[in-house]
Amino acid sequence: MKTNSIIALILSISLFGLFGCADKYEVDYEAPVKIEFTGVDQNNRVSLEKGVAEYTATVKVQGEIMSFEIYQADSKTGIQGSLIEETARSFEDGTANYETTYKFTSLKENACITVVVLGTDGNTYQRKLLVEITPSVLFSDPDCGKDGEIVETASAYYGCYYATWLLGRTYMAADAMKYANEVDFSLGDIILPSGSEAVPALVSPAKRS
């Protein structure tokens, strides 16, 4: 019993020391330089509506900095690319609370940038921004097609358009199905009456088998 009491006392002292030192070694660090983007989510992403091909990003830097640069970045991996020369700024005596804008133009796919600043403390700080577009072409599950082909919908096409590529892809405008009886053609291999070899041709709905 005496041994158990001694062990309990040792454990109590150890636990007291452990929790008593927790606050002593806790790191409460706040970076002297902060980079923020306006109008983005918590992951620094912004999603554009369908058909929007431009976006102007507002970048705000809080803290003393010596230089400011924006780099291209891979939208999938985030790997930093080449410097966007016109964004580079150098401040000989340093500056605080710097703010600027950067415009994305002719967006056809997701785009990413990395903002890199050099603080007056000699440390480098960076933050990425991802701009996600809503594509004009949407891909369906392969099982949705007539023969397992992939269906692509693109409302960017003008007029009624509906076509099936034999054992390939199907393309159609967003409202094409209401014109299916008027415009509907396929590309397939057929044998003409004048020959014996199959040749690719546009096939009328009335001539399909």
Q: What CA–CA distance (Å, rounded) separates 200 from 209?
A: 15
Task: Give me the residue label for tokens 């960017």.
Answer: 156
Looking at the fold, whether 39 and 66 belong to one and the same domain comes out as yes
> Which of the listed residues 109, 132, 155 is the one where a domain comes to its end?
132
Looking at the fold, whether 73 and 123 belong to one and the same domain comes out as yes
The yes-or-no verdict on residue 14 having pLDDT over 60 is no
Q: What CA–CA distance (Å, rounded) separates 138 from 152?
A: 5
Looking at the fold, whether 51 and 123 belong to one and the same domain comes out as yes
Q: What is the pLDDT of residue 66?
A: 96
Split at pLDDT 50, 70, 90, the class of 178 is: low
Looking at the fold, whether 38 and 124 belong to one and the same domain comes out as yes
Neighbours of 206 (CB within 10 A): 5
Split at pLDDT 50, 70, 90, the class of 101 is: very high
Looking at the fold, whether 117 and 167 belong to one and the same domain comes out as no
Looking at the fold, whether 56 and 94 belong to one and the same domain comes out as yes
The yes-or-no verdict on residue 102 having pLDDT over 90 is yes
* Structural domain count of the chain: 2
The yes-or-no verdict on residue 39 having pLDDT over 60 is yes
Q: What CA–CA distance (Å, rounded) separates 60 from 39?
A: 12
The average confidence (pLDDT) of the chain is: 73
Structural domain boundaries enclosing 201: 137-207
Looking at the fold, whether 191 and 149 belong to one and the same domain comes out as yes
Task: Give me the residue label for tokens 């796919």.
Answer: 109
Q: What is the mean pLDDT of residues 116-130?
A: 94
> Which of the listed residues 132, 151, 175 is the one where a domain comes to its end?
132
Q: What is the pLDDT of residues 77-86, one digit of tens each?
A: 889 999 999 9
The yes-or-no verdict on residue 61 having pLDDT over 80 is yes
- In order of 33, 42, 60, 70, 187, the CA distances from 97 in angstroms are 9, 21, 7, 16, 61
> Which of the listed residues 103, 132, 161 is the one where a domain comes to its end?
132
Q: What is the pLDDT of residue 109?
A: 87
Looking at the fold, whether 148 and 120 belong to one and the same domain comes out as no
CA atoms in the 13 A half-sphere facing the CB of 181 = 1
Domain for residue 4, yes or no?
A: no
The yes-or-no verdict on residue 12 having pLDDT over 90 is no
